[in-house]
Every structure is written in structure tokens, then in C-alpha cells.
Structure 1
Amino acid sequence: MARVERFLPSEEAADLLELVGDLADNELAPQVAGFEERAEFPREVLRTLGRAGLLGLPYPVEYGGGGQPYEVYLQVLEELARRWLAVAEAVSVHTLSAFPTYAFGTDEQKKRHLPDMLGGELLGAYCLSEPQGGSDAASLTTKATRDGDTYTITGTKAWITHARVADFYNVFCRTGGPGPKGISCVLVDAGTPGLEPQVAERTMGLRSSPVAQVVLDGVRVPAERLVGPEGGGFTIAMSALDSGRLGIAACAVGLAQAALDHASEYAKGRTQFGKPIIEHQGLGFLLADMATQVSAARALTLAAARLRDAGRPFGIEAAKAKLFATDTAMRVTTDAVQVLGGYGYVSEYPVERFMREAKVLQIVEGTNQIQRMVIARSLSRE
């Protein structure tokens, strides 16, 4: 794989990235094709990453996390995505799933739940979207009714990553009237009666990552599982997505880098008209543009991460990073197929899988049309 020049904030971070690279080469890269072909979720691979401390990197050590800045965590995601996007996405979704408890939970909830969430054995899911309410999250209809010290939740969630394999679910549900102020967040264990993940969707890419609807049929949860104040769920969801978008941007950078790596190696080894095709200007310039776009996406993503690490507003920059990095991944993976020609269109080479995988990154954590809306609204406020 091509070497990526990185500026890391500490020697510890450099050692971590080296460890992740070795782990990804030895544990991820040899297995990805088989798991994708079988559409099988690599649960044991995630446990291996968890035992290596990679499922809680941006959270404080006192709760069992890695205590790493987001700038470092995102580069870990990138390294994982270069070998296996579904695994990197799983780490990103799990990190997102721990965020509500960490950022909005009570001290008691943090002490009780975070060590297990971040310890490496559990896996989380984030239940916001619904069959009729994807981008319009404020219109969700899943309802939670309180009766004494218990909530009863009824409704259906859609497009839930880790459905059927998650150990806990953040369920966003309506506890009040219409609109965003009527939404709350409730933490639900996977084994709770009435929580029923459905058959996994058959997807274009990321086939080793299960996505399905989750039906909640009279799920009874103790009121102490409410995260944040009643009616505060929409704020929690949007705050979590700001960070989640950076995770998806980093995954996109890693996928695009993998496509560039494979296309470049192929172009150096393939000879036509008496010389390697990378020396033909038509392909050489195409690869140069791909490399430039990947570097730009990485820079934009890490710039937003540094704002987050500094405690400064970063939501708009996260939207820009998610928009640009995922559009870049789609463009670069498509160009990689073109570089390989007919070989790029067959499954013997991974670039066709990269191209299929890139598409979903333009959709999850808010479609790129939503990102443009967020950015445009910020400009109008200015």
C-alpha cells in the first residue's frame, strides 16, 4: 500500500496508527472478500478490534476509552477503511452509539453503561430513521408512553446498521407533541422483549454490514434508561450526527485511498504501446487528479476534527467534510474502475466493490443533499 504522509500530534498516536495498520493488514485484508461474498457480519473481527482498544478511542480513559483526540481517531478509521470499509463503518457507528450516553447521560448512567460500551465486547446501534422519515428526523412517529417508572415503546425504525447483531440500541422516540421538542432518546438492551430486528436488507455494497428494520412492539424500558431530558432527543441526535459525519468522511477517505492504491499499482504494472499505462498522459493525469482529491478530502476532514478537539463549533465543517469526502470517494472509485478497464468490472479485482461501497457513503448520516442544505443555511445566517 502507498505510504500516506501524516502529521500526528504525539508519538503515542504514531505508534497507534502503526499498530492499526499492522492489525488491518493481518486481520482484515485477508478476510474481507470472503465475508463480503457470504454477506456475513465479522463479529469476531470487531471483538478483536475491541480488545485492542479501538472501539472507544475518542472517549476518556476514566470510562474505559482510549483518550485520543478526534484527529487521531479519524485516521484510525481511515486505515481500517483502506482494508475493509464495513469494519471501519462498524467502528464509526459504534462510536456514534456511545455518544448520547457520554455527552448527555447522568453521571450514574456514564459510570454504569460506558465501561461496557467502550470495553470492546459490546456493539451499539443508532435508531433514528424510520420507513417514512429518513432525512426529516423531526417527523418520527415511534412513540414512548410513560407509565410510572417505565416507558412503553411502539414503532418501527429503518436502515439500522447492526440490527440483529447489536447489544444495545439508542432509540429516538416521541414522548411529547409533534416536532423536534417532542422527541426523546432511550437506551434499550438488545434482549428486551418486543424489540424485534427484521430480516437484513439486500444491499448494493457493504454486504458484510447488516442493515435492517427494527420493530418495537410494546417494548418496556425502565425510565432510568432515558438519556438526557425528556424532549431533548432531537438535540442529542443532531449533536451526535455532527461527529458521526466526520466518521463517515474518514471512511470515505480510506476507501478512496484504497481505490487510488489499487489503480496506481495496476497502472504501473500494465504495459500498452511499449510502456506502463501510468506513463500515458491520459491515465497519468487521471491518477494525479484522483490523488489530489483524496488529499483534499483528508485535509478537510482533519481540519474539522481539529476544531472539534479544540472545543470550537465544527458542525458546518463536518457537513462540508462529509459532502466532499464522500463525493470524492464516489468519483475516485469510479475512475479506478476506468483505469483497470475490463478488469475493473470483474469481482476478481476489488475496485468494483469499492465503487459499489462508495455509493452508500453519500447517503448515510444525512444525504449529501442534506449536507448542502445545512451548508447553504449557514451561509444565509451569516
Structure 2
Amino acid sequence: MSSLLALEETHLARLNNVERRKHIQKLKIVKHLYVKGAKTNADICSRFAISSPTSIAILNELVAEGLVEKQGRGKSLGGRKPELYGLRDGSLFVLSIHIEQFKTRIAIFDNNNHIVSGLHSFSIELTRDLGALAQIHAHAQALLLASGIELNKLVGVGVSMPGLVASKEGNNHTYLLTGGTSESLQQLLEEQFGKPVFIQNDAKSAALAEYRFGLAHGLRDALVLSMDWGIGLGIILDGKLRSGALGFAGEFGHIPLVDGGALCHCGKRGCLETMASGSAIVRLAKAGIRAGQRTLLSQLTAPELDQLESEQVYAAAHEGDQFAINTLAEVGTNLGKGIAILIQLFNPELIILGGKIAQAKQFIFPAIQQAINTYCMAQLREKTTVVVSELGDNAVVLGSVATVMENIFESYLELA
């Protein structure tokens, strides 16, 4: 690996002030190339207020170290087209782990956000205890071994999951509880992998992916809704991902939408999540089937009904099942009411809908839009665009990569 990322204290102690300053400049340039893509020498000089000879010298060193390569030429500003410098494929790798409620997905990405391992998925239920960690680690190690990548080029591990995730603290206060031990969940994972680990709420990971690589790229104010078993919200305001004082900002699924109502897993009643999520779709479908509603889903046996998943309701709707269509429309209306609140609170340019529930967008989206039209002030509604994510299921795993690549450089810069 390049000495750029060999940032143990003993390594830094060997650097004099000039060498350390150059080291920091190199780190900043590599992070800039990751976030912004290939740039010219002039772009880098302008961004970091350094001279052209200094920038060229640093870029040449990064090329020699195998981190950066020349990637064609940029637009001419009147003379010869300038050379573009970008991160070399395969110079750095990140292991991305997305822990969902009932399954986990793992992939290895290179520094240009290309999946180099395929997307590996396996069933596992997310609970409050730490029992799942050993199985997740075993699957991850098998994937790393099968990929054939040089492990010294693996710079970190990004872990995204639902729940009250305090990233700075390194703990999830809903799942995988450490039981008051002196070590955080993040520290336990770092011991397992022997690499820096960064944990994040899955909705925030999706929002970061949309901001860096998706439909929110270049916008200052956007909201990203992740709609799976529950509902999560990622908030981009003034060009920054917002986490709140404790890191818990965005628990949109737990706003009280009605008095009473179904019991939520948080212990409260009337939460939006009980009326407009994957779990709500399953609950409403089961209730209708047991009440004798005519539907393709009524063919399920009692044991099969207990295992009903929202994807089966989506499939029935696509087959023209009116009960399934009505169920999804009801969920869309409830979700639209909640989104109307978000529009009036945050006044975003864009709201992106993502997660598995987007598979049923043709049935849910019209109801969402109608509810927004009904419950939102026109002046705000007309300036907000609501779209479905183009990143699809890759948003969270890609967001975990961005979380690592951005935080790894920040932590190195603090150490340097």
C-alpha cells in the first residue's frame, strides 16, 4: 500500500514539518478526486490554493505510488487541452455491509465505486443481541477471500443498518446492543476485521449516496426517504448530511400521525411507520385476507400467510389484484400526508423515494402525490419535486462506501 495511508503515530513521527504538510496535501487531493472525480492540475491548484509546480509534484508522487493515474484530457481554455488526474482503479477498496431487518448484503467496492465482488446476500434476522456479528463476519471474510483483492488495499469497512445509530459514538441503540460493555459496536467490528469501521443509519447512507452520486448531486437541500420494513429519512440541508445532536435525526417513521392506531415496535401507537411502510403493507394485507377479502393472496395457507412479505403484495398488484392495489394506495396516501409535513418543515428542492417499496411505485406514487396536493401549501408544494431513486437497491451499499471514503480521510487528516 502507498505510504499515504500508513498513518500510525510512529510513521508520522518520522516526518518533518515540510513532509507532514505535503502528506496532508496529498490526503486532501486524494479525497477531492474521490468525491469530485478526475480533475486537472489547474482545478487542484484553485481548490487548495497551491502553486502549479507544487500540485504537479504531488500528483506525480501519487502516480508513482499507484493511487492516481492520468485519465485523458479536459476541456481546453484556449490552448492545449489539460491532462486529467483521477484515482486509479483498484488502488483502494472498501467492504460495504448493509444489515437489513431480515437479511444482509455485502459487496466490495473499489475507489471508483465499482463493485468488484458481486453483491452477496444472505438471510439473517437483526435483533438486539450481538449473535449476528459472527455470521456476518464469516460471510464477509469468505467474500474477501474469493475476491482475490490485496487485503492491504482494503482501507475500511462501512456498515449501514436501521435503528438509532450514533455514528460518532459507534453504537446502535436499537439493534446489536453491546450491553453496557466498555467497547462500542464499532470497536467490536474493528477487532473482528482488523480495519477501520464506520457505522451509519441506513437512511443516512442512502442520502449520502444520492447526494454524491444520485439525483441529489449538486443540490443544497434534499430529503431521501428509505421505505423498506420501516421508514427512514436522510436530510441534506445547505449541502451537508444532517444527523442532529446525538446522530438520531430523521426518525420520520415515528412521527405520530393518528391517535391510537396499531402498536409500533418503538412502543408507541399511531406512528407513521405503522401506516406507511413495508410492515404496514404486510399488516394490512394479512388483516384483509383474514377478513375474507377476495384476493390472489387468499390462496396462501395459514403458515404461508404468517410468512407473508411485502414483495408478494407488490407482485399481486402487478397481476391486477384489486385488493393489493387498494392496500398500496392506502399506504401511499398515508405516506403522502407525512411527506406534506416534511415539505412544509424543510422546504426541500427535491424528495427522493427509495427502498423496496419503490418497486410498487406505479401503485403508491399517484396516491402520494395526491395526498401532497391535498395537505401541502401550494407555494411550497409547487417548488418541490418528488422522484423515485435511480440508484435502487444499491443506494445504501454505495452510501456505506462513501461514508468510509470520506471519514477515513478525515480521521487521517486529524491524526496527521
TM-score when scaled to structure 1? 0.24
Report which of the two structures shows the higher radius of gyration computed on alpha carbons: 2
